[in-house]
Amino acid sequence: MAKEKTKLLRGNLQKVPTGIVGLDEITNGGLPKGRPTLVCGGAGSGKTLLGIEFLVRGATQFNEPGVFMSFEESAEELTKNVASLGFDLNRLTASKRLLVDYVHIERSEIEETGEYDLEGLFIRLGNAIDSIGAKRVVLDTIESLFAGLPNPSILRAELRRLFRWLKKKGMTAVITGERGDNALTRHGLEEYVSDCVILLDHRVLNQISTRRLRIVKYRGSTHGTNEFPFLIDERGLAVMPITSLGLKHTVTNQRISTGIPRLDSMLGGKGYFRGSSILVSGTAGTGKTSVAAHFVDAACRRGERSVFFAFEESPSQIIRNMRSIGIDLQQWVEKGLLRFCADRPTVYGLEAHLASMHKYIDMFKPRVVIVDPVTNLSAVASEADVKAMLIRLLDQMKFNQITALFTTLTAATGSLELTEVGISSLADAWLLLRDIEIGGERNRGLYILKSRGMAHSNQIREFLLTNKGVDLIDVYVGPSGVLTGSARISQETQERDVESIREREIERKRLNVETKRKALEAQIASLRAQFQAEEQELKKLTEQEKMRQNGVSKLREKMASMRKEDTNSERRKR
Amino acid sequence: MKGKAGGGPVKNAKPNADIWELRLYVAGQTPKSLAAFANLKKICEEHLKGKYHIEVVDLLKNPQLASGDQILAIPTLVRKLPPPLKKIIGDLSNTVRVLVGLDLRPKM
């Protein structure tokens, strides 16, 4: 990124990348090439370190050797001091990529007796530059000359000449200066070095120190104008150009599981959006960390890396506690999918926290980030500052499509929703965990206050912590209100009792009817039998009658034949 | 100016006695350098006659020598001996201050 920008600006102003994390971004490519840059700040603000890192990075990453002219520390002291930041000055010096020249002036040894100039310094510097073919020069802190040498007017003229000379030699120089009372530097160096001025600040607020960097001016170039927090740690200096991201991130429709099946179904059946920010708020002991742990567990199961920033508990404590609800986070730590980053919020300032988180995220490249809880950060800064920090952090995460879950602790008193207006507007989804106190017991309830861009349940769920993890169950909503816990259970039992009585009643009635039906059927059967008997009787009688009539006709025939009535009988037969 | 080799006049009254070792750093033959050398010689002749040694170091020829005596300003006169080390910068035109700088004042 830095390279592209350098190229774009080639026709304009050439820049030299510093290699310092973040600084090249806010300067759009680095420091002005072949020109001096003034770095000013109070004692202990990191000026020397910025200078040294500029040279070390130049020597190791950009193949530009550098000369460090120190007016304050000897080469040995300097080497020792920066060794803790991972810079091996001895190795660089041995390979002729770095030269440290310690210029020492003792005021008491010096007597001024007339006109002089600083040609000695020029010669020394020129000799140093030529001996290693340096492209970069750091003068730290040249203002010491004002203390060591008399006659400031000569010094001023000579410094002006020095900067011009450095420019002519094409040196990209960093000149450090002590912050003055009303000016950027104590001796007004900013008058001479006007191409680029960087101000470092080290502020202590509420006993917490915060480092900030600001580009005061950068002639011929655009640059970030804000104060950017920076951090000095074992890898050197890191500036956070976070506010420059803005609201330009793209979003995805991809959904990821919350790790709690029932919660997924509350969130339209699929869980959170990837890259969204989720706020889990609740009073103490409502299970915020458990919700977070579920989410982390689910992410690791998908093979995604996660970072857990813990501001309240140590990693082993979290792992132990989560094991009690059946979540084994240890396995993910061992597999390298999960990293814990636990610090007390008061360890350093808010900006430093932000910076370290930023750096951690940059380094580990997680897909899921947990901050538990963000509210603890307000111990080191005001609410507005915490909000500003969160905006930056969220910007960064959204930009990288990292799903972030923040937990916040809300005070037990007052409205849960009101206290967090500041943070809640930043969250895409907001889960509220709360205690529901009925009948002398506390139970946990969960509902979704908002979830941008998806249909979600408006129902409150009872939130149970079991040894198999979090379980969400429907609460009892009846005429007597919302019931949870044993009240819910007793209500349900009561309902079940009523139900079973009713069922028994019905069963009894059913049996009754059955009996009746059977009796009726028996009656029908007997009637039918009676009827059949009568029918049988009738049939018998009919047959008897037939037989009788048959008998009569036969008798008649017999009598007729006896009376020779043959014709008659013939006729009758036809 | 004869560079490093061109030392001042050495006139030893008592060998091994308190010889003043003086070194004058210059950068080329600038008017200031020339003036400084001339002034120094004059002062030495007046106050240290016979017991001083002047070495002139031209940093243009030997730039690496600048760091040894922590030279920044030109011209600089360094009193190597007798101890303690003293540095006097400027063209040495202010004789009074040169004498103060060299701790020569009380001897007058």
Would you say the C-alpha torsion A456, A279, A274, A325 has a positive or negative sign?
A: negative
Interface touch A112/B90, C-beta < 8 Å: yes
Residues of chain A with Cβ-Cβ distance to B32 below 8 Å are 115-117
- State the CB neighbour count (10 A cutoff) for residue A463: 28
Residues A163 and A228 placed together within one structural domain of the fold: yes
Q: Choose one of A420, A442, A474: the last residue of a domain.
A: A474
User: In whole angstroms, what is the distance from residue B53 CA to residue B48 CA?
Assistant: 10
Whether B14 maps to a domain, the answer reads no
In a domain, B3, yes or no: no
Q: What pLDDT does A245 receive?
A: 54
Does A312 or B18 have the greater pLDDT score?
Answer: A312
Give the range with max mean pLDDT: A313-322, A422-431, A563-572: A313-322
Q: Which residues of A touch B75 (CB under 8 A)?
A: 116
Kindly state whether residues A89 and A64 are assigned to the same domain. yes
Q: Is the pLDDT of residue A217 over 90?
A: no
What are the tokens at A281?
């708020």
Task: Kindly state whether residues A85 and A56 are assigned to the same domain.
Answer: yes
CA distance A98 to A89: 7
Q: Is residue A448 assigned to a domain?
A: yes
CATH code of A362's domain: 3.40.50.300
Give the domain extent around B64: 20-101
CB contact under 8 A, B73 and A109: no
CB contact under 8 A, A111 and B75: no
The answer to the question of residue A75 being in a domain is: yes
Q: What is the percentage of chain A residues whose pLDDT exceeds 90?
A: 19
Share of chain A above pLDDT 70, in %: 90
Looking at per-residue pLDDT, the higher value among A422 and A262 belongs to A262
Q: Is residue A571's pLDDT more than 60?
A: no
How many separate domains does chain B show? Answer: 1
CA angle A370, A234, A312 (to 5 degrees): 30
- The model's confidence at residue A572, banded by pLDDT at 50, 70 and 90, is low
> What is the spatial distance between Cα A233 and Cα A230, in angstroms, rounded to a whole number?
10
Q: What is the pLDDT of residues A463-483, one digit of tens each?
A: 888 888 888 887 777 666 677
Instruction: Report chain B residues whose CB lies below 8 A from the CB of A110.
Output: 87-89
**Other CB atoms closer than 10 Å to residue A422's CB: what's the count?**
13
* A156 plus A304 within the same structural domain: no
Q: Which residue of B has its CA nearest to A110?
A: B87
Same domain (yes/no): A235, A283 = no
Does residue A147 sit at the B interface (CB-CB below 8 Å)?
no
Residue A517 — pLDDT band, cuts 50, 70, 90? very high
B55 to chain A nearest CA, in Å? 17
- pLDDT for residue A533 is more than 90: yes
- pLDDT of B13 above 50: no
| C-beta atoms of A123 and B76 within 8 A | no
> What is the pLDDT confidence band of residue A246, given thresholds at 50, 70 and 90?
low
Based on DSSP, count helices (H) and strands (E) in chain B, helices before strands. 2, 4
- Model confidence at A508, pLDDT cuts 50, 70, 90, reads very high
Separation in Å, CA of A187 to nearest CA in chain B: 19
Three-state secondary structure readout of A158-211: HHHHHHHHHHHCCCEEEEEEECCCCCCCCCCHHHCCCCEEEEEEEEEECCEEEE
Nearest to A114 among B67, B70, B94 (CB): B94
Hey, is B57 helix, strand or coil? Answer: strand
For residue A2, pLDDT over 50 is answered with: no
| Closest to A142 in 3D by CA, of A152, A132, A134 | A152
Same-domain check for residues A216 and A316? no
Is position B5 within any domain?
Answer: no
Given A474, A489, A521, which residue is the final one in a domain?
A: A474
CATH number at residue B78: 3.40.30.10
B31 located within any domain = yes
Residues of chain A in contact with residue B98, where contact means CB-CB under 8 angstroms, are 111, 113
Domain assignment present for residue B62? The answer is yes
The answer to whether residue B2 sits within a structural domain is no
| Residue A153 pLDDT greater than 60, yes or no | yes
| pLDDT beyond 60 at A545 | yes
- pLDDT beyond 70 at B10: no
From chain A, the residues in CB contact with B60 under 8 A are: 123
On whether residue A510 sits in a domain, the answer given is no
CA distance B100 to chain A (A): 8
State the pLDDT confidence band at A356, using cuts at 50, 70 and 90: confident
Write the DSSP assignment of A367-401 as a string of letters: SEEEEETGGGGGGTS-HHHHHHHHHHHHHHHHHTT
| From A115, A127, A149, residue closest to B32, measured CB to CB | A115
Name the residue facing A120 among B25, B91, B98 (closest C-beta). B25
In this complex, is the C-beta atom of A152 within 8 Å of any C-beta atom belonging to chain B? Answer: no
Q: Is the pLDDT of residue A6 over 70?
A: no
The reply to whether A192 and A272 lie within a common domain is no
CB-closest option in A113, A116, A119 to B98? A113
Binned at pLDDT 50, 70 and 90, residue A341 comes out as confident
- Is residue A53 within 8 A of residue A18, CB to CB? The reply is yes
Q: Are residues A289 and A210 in the same domain?
A: no
Condensed to tens digits (0 to 9), the pLDDT of residues A157-180 reads 888 899 899 999 999 999 988 887
CA distance B54 to chain A (A): 18
Higher pLDDT, B32 or A482: B32
Asked if A108 has any chain B CB less than 8 Å from its own CB, the reply is: no
Average pLDDT over residues A151-162: 87
Stretch A390-396: mean pLDDT, rounded?
79
pLDDT at residue A573 is higher than 80: no
What's the one-letter identity of residue A265? S
Which of the four pLDDT bands, split at 50, 70 and 90, describes residue A414? low
- Asked whether residue A404 carries a pLDDT value surpassing 50, the answer given is yes
Mean pLDDT of A538-558: 91
The predicted pLDDT at position A416 comes to 52
Greatest C-alpha distance within chain A: 199
Average pLDDT over residues A210-218: 85
Chain B contact for A334 (CB, 8 A cutoff): no
Contact B97 A111 (CB under 8 A): yes
Rounded Cα distance between A37 and A20, Å, is 15
Number of domains, chain A: 2
Inter-chain touch A120–B72, beta carbons under 8 Å: yes
Min Cα distance B60 → chain A (Å) is 7
Is pLDDT at B3 greater than 50 in this prediction? no
Specify if A120 maps to a domain.
yes
Q: What's the whole-number average pLDDT of chain A?
A: 83
Within-domain flag for A487: no
CA-CA distances (angstroms) from residue B31 to A114, A319, A474, B96, B99? 13, 79, 98, 21, 22
DSSP A114-147: S--B-HHHHHHHHHHHHHHT-SEEEEETTTHHHH
Q: If you average pLDDT over each of A109-118, A227-236, B49-58, which comes out highest?
A: B49-58
Task: Write out the residue range of the structural domain in which residue A365 sits.
Answer: 255-474
Q: Does A105 touch chain B (CB under 8 A)?
A: yes
**Per-residue pLDDT for A393 more than 50?**
yes
**Interface A:B, Cβ pairs < 8 A:** 98
A245, two tokens: 């991201």
Same-domain check for residues A174 and A282? no
Q: Are strands A208-218 and A196-205 parallel, antiparallel or unpaired?
A: antiparallel
Mutate: best of A110, A112, A123, A146, partner B, most B CBs <10 A: A123
Of the two residues B73 and A412, the one the predictor is more confident about is B73
Write down the pLDDT at residue A519. 94
Q: Does residue A110 belong to the interface with chain B, where contact is any CB pair within 8 Å?
A: yes
What is the per-residue pLDDT for A514?
A: 94
Residues A240 and A270 in one domain: no
Do the domain assignments include residue A420?
yes
How confident is the model over A520-533, as a mean pLDDT?
A: 94
**Is residue A99 over pLDDT 70?**
yes
Considering A307-321, A342-356, A418-432, the range whose residues carry the highest mean pLDDT is A307-321
List phi, psi (to 5°) of A308: -115, 105
Checking if the pLDDT of A282 tops 90, the result is no
The residue among A204, A224, A244 that closes a domain is A244
- Let me know: does A403 contact A278? Beta carbons within 8 Å: yes
- State yes or no: pLDDT of A432 exceeds 70: yes
> B43 to chain A, minimum CA–CA distance in Å?
13
Tell me: pLDDT of A5 over 50: no
**What is the model's pLDDT at position A523?**
94
C-alpha–C-alpha distance, residues B78 and B52, integer Å: 13
pLDDT at residue number A406 = 87
Q: Are residues A188 and A316 in the same domain?
A: no
- From the list A103, A104, A123, which residue is nearest B63 (CB)? A123
Local confidence band at A570 (pLDDT 50, 70, 90 cut-offs): low
- Smallest Cβ–Cβ distance between B89 and the set A103, A106, A112 belongs to A112
Q: How many residues are listed for chain B in this entry?
A: 108
pLDDT band at A524 (very low <50, low <70, confident <90, very high): very high
Nearest CA in chain A to B86: A109
Q: Which residues of B touch A101 (CB under 8 A)?
A: 67
Tell me the pLDDT band of B11, cut-offs 50, 70 and 90: very low
B-chain CB neighbours of A106 within 8 Å are 87
User: A382 CB near a chain B CB, below 8 Å?
Assistant: no
State yes or no: pLDDT of A244 exceeds 70: no
pLDDT of residue B14: 44
B12 in any annotated domain = no
Two tokens, residue B49: 């006659």
**Predicted local distance difference test score (pLDDT) of residue A221:** 80
Top-ranked range on mean pLDDT: pick from A40-44, A173-177, A194-198, A486-490: A173-177
**Has residue A486 been placed in a domain?**
no
Helices (H) and strands (E) in chain A, counts: 17, 25
Q: What pLDDT score was predicted for residue B15?
A: 45
A347 shares its domain with A408: yes
Whether A123 and B27 lie within 8 Å, measured CB to CB: yes
- Interface residues on B facing A, Cβ-Cβ cutoff 8 A: 25, 27, 30, 32, 35-36, 39, 59-60, 63-64, 66-67, 70-76, 84-94, 97-98, 100-101
**Cβ neighbours of residue A462 under 8 Å, at least 6 residues apart?**
A436, A443, A444, A445, A446, A472, A473, A474, A475, A484, A485, A488
| Residue A391 falls inside a structural domain | yes
Cα separation, A529 vs A492, in Å, equals 55
pLDDT at residue A268, as a whole number: 84
A162 touches chain B (CB under 8 A): no
Pick from A101, A106, A149: CB nearest B73: A149
